Chain A
């Protein structure tokens, strides 16, 4: 049998066929190297900071990482008018995912020239040396944007970004369902709680609204309205004060409603929440200006049935609201085209032309005053058809909104908050009892990272 011959053949022959071995290995290695090079240059094309353009003929190339809706169309307006500065937009990720991407790109030396960042993400970018100090260059445009918005991008007098859009909290409610159940629009939180109970009594399958433990930014915004300052600065130290009276007030209010089953507890954007918006079993949503767009996307068939109202207040006569979201744009600390980037950024967030486009094309509520004034004349969002004063309400909310300083560990705190509130709801314990642990965890995390914390 020839089978037995094969092992013997393999034993013989110790001469390496050098040429074929060498060629074979070389071609394999070459193929791998080419593949690696090809791959990285594909990625590097959009992400690397552009080399210095020496001559006057070559346009300066800028890269901008942003997730604003249809931002490419807004940037196209700039590109058409400014052939010498060309901006390329990349929509790589949104929100916190983009922060992770930016930090990784910083390590690789691949940062873009401009990047969009939510307000609470900026401290992390600043401490990693990713964004440039813009304090000097924003002086001319200081008056174009409200002070409340500038406070969200300034630490110890230094400004690190230009505010783009802001998101003051309001309330959206189903006018038809309110009429059906004989309810009046609440203007204080006490009335809000009573309305919630009335809804449950009148229609056991419906809820006034839902409390979602995952909406940590929303809870922060409610605390801002109540007067809380979760983080503040004392010189170069941080002070953490989450377990303060205003936050306890908010936590007790919502904890009681949850315990009474007066509000639902399904997560925002979940399938159940979407279904409730569509079939009218959720009657209201306390959310910012961009909530109109979200509802339109999830429940387009309810167009015209919703109305916007100011957020309920803690006492009659008070007029204050908080923020939930909003974003800014910053310039990389390692960019080779700082002047051109600043020129583009100033245009994007303060010029009349650009803020108009942001309202019309991107559906944002701009931080720039000129943009807010323009918004007053635009078409009302689809779901609020029939209400003429939406943007007036939005402008007023923007003028009375207050926020607090964001610390470098907002994400960690939000994560702890989410888990603690979820556990409290699961166990049936009061939400307010979870606050001390959240505060001490946030404080310990800041100290572990190496920051000075004032007790």
Chain B
């Protein structure tokens, strides 16, 4: 290629390239590999400064603790290296295991329901002759636009017996209203807030993925006699597997990091303790008990769990997408 002569060559595509290649070659060489690094530099520096260095610092902190030395009544606290003691005490902490169990139960409620709703909405919106498509899309997506804390407070007012509109309806009907914030139903009440807020976002991901499916597949399916339902089952859903994997990872990460909803509702009910989910336990350790070392250890453990879950789902998705396909 480098030796193609100016003004003529065997391949029709080459002249355009080589014609410009001649006089401009030196300039191109000088400009070549510098620009990407310069453009990447801000992002890399920000990643380093605000993600990698703090994570490293948290890892460092998790190996240390504040212990009282020097005797005396109030003593003197000194920060020192304690090895994996923080991790050991986190793993044997009953509160943390209770919180993990609750988080798993919460995930079992939120992930399937949100998943299914998002999928159903996306499929419905993708039907060819559906009416009011944009309006429906906006309405379904709107709850996601409400910031998490505000949404939780909003739902808190809807759940509180004294001011709840739902309770007014039940009273008008003459029956006793359900107790949204009692210990039996508080998990579902919290899950409801998350589902309400998150379904729209996941629906949008799935809808966008649906929109990128080549139309020839639908034509082929219709020629074979498929109705809408069978197209959805045999064509759309298999093609959605990568997007479903992405949605699943988002939902699982949201489950592990759940914090906003229980924290905002905790002041309204005695059924939510101060360490109801792992993130709340980390918050209490760091900012209430001023034990940032234990909080760092728990955070690192949670981060590793998130990594494991994400990798697990990704490998599952890859196997389904590649292994079960036409290859």
A residues near B (Cβ < 8 Å) are 1-2, 4-5, 8-10, 12-18, 20-21, 24-25, 28-29, 32, 96-97, 99-100, 103, 123-124, 126-129, 155-156, 213-214, 233, 236, 238, 265, 267, 270-272, 275, 408, 411-412, 415, 418-419, 422-423, 425-427, 449-452
Contact = CB atoms under 8 A, between A and B. Distances in A.
Contacts of A425: 270
Contact of A449 (B29, B41, B68, B163): B68
Given A16-B34, A28-B41, A415 B69 contact: no
Contact of A236 (B45, B72, B270, B290): B72
Contact of A21 (B38, B183, B270): B38
Interface stretch (B74-82, B120-128, B255-263): B74-82
B129 interface: no
A273 B57 CA distance: 43
Interface of B is mostly: mixed
Interface string B258-276: 0000000001101101110
Given A1-B13, A20-B38, A13 B73 contact: no
B300 interface: no
5 contacts: A15-B32, A17-B31, A127-B68, A238-B73, A415-B284
B61 to A, nearest CB: 11
B74 A123 contact: yes
Nearest to A107: B79
Contact of B71 (A236, A265, A267, A426): A236
B132 interface: no
B29 A13 contact: yes
A1 B15 CA distance: 11
Interface string B15-47: 011001100010011111111011001100100
Contacts of B21: 12
Interface of B: 1, 13, 16-17, 20-21, 25, 28-35, 37-38, 41-42, 45, 49, 66-69, 71-77, 157, 160-163, 182-183, 267-268, 270-271, 273-275, 284, 287-290
B289 A271 contact: no
Contacts of A124: 290
Given A96-B288, A275-B163, A155 B74 contact: yes
Contacts of A412: 289
Contact of A129 (B25, B76, B183, B271): B76
A451 to B, nearest CB: 6
A419 B275 contact: yes
A6 B1 CA distance: 14
Contacts of B73: 155-156, 233, 236, 238
A13 B45 contact: no
Contacts of B157: 271
A164 to B, nearest CB: 21
B270 A5 contact: no
A444 B21 CA distance: 77
Contacts of A21: 34-35, 37-38
A175 to B, nearest CB: 24
A24 B33 CA distance: 13
A440 B17 CA distance: 81
A450 B267 CA distance: 33
B17 A415 contact: no
A14 B30 CA distance: 7
Given A4-B13, A267-B267, A450-B69, A408 B38 contact: no
Contacts of A123: 74
Contact of B74 (A14, A15, A214, A408): A408
Given A25-B41, A128-B66, 19 more contacts: A5-B16, A15-B33, A16-B32, A20-B38, A24-B38, A28-B42, A126-B74, A127-B75, A129-B76, A155-B74, A156-B72, A272-B160, A272-B268, A275-B163, A411-B288, A411-B290, A412-B289, A415-B274, A426-B270
Counting chain A CB atoms within 10 Å of each CB, which of B30, B35, B45, B76 scores highest? B30
Nearest to A408: B74
A187 B246 CA distance: 65
B163 A13 contact: no
B41 A127 contact: no
Contacts of B16: 2, 5
Contacts of A450: 67-69, 75
A267 B268 contact: yes
A97 B31 CA distance: 53
Contacts of B31: 13, 17
A141 to B, nearest CB: 23
B270 A14 contact: no
Contacts of A24: 34, 38, 41
A28 B17 CA distance: 34
Given A21-B34, A415-B288, A8 B74 contact: no
Contacts of A126: 74
Nearest to A126: B74
B32 A10 contact: yes
A191 to B, nearest CB: 28
Contacts of A32: 42, 45, 49
Contacts of A452: 71
Contact of A100 (B49, B68, B275, B290): B290
Contacts of A10: 32
Nearest to B271: A426
A5 B14 CA distance: 8
B165 to A, nearest CB: 14
Contacts of B183: 426-427
A451 B33 contact: no
B161 to A, nearest CB: 8
Contacts of B161: 272
A174 B223 CA distance: 80
Contacts of A4: 13, 17
A419 B287 CA distance: 17
A13 B72 contact: no
A96 B274 CA distance: 15
Given A13-B31, A127-B68, A422 B42 contact: no
A328 to B, nearest CB: 15
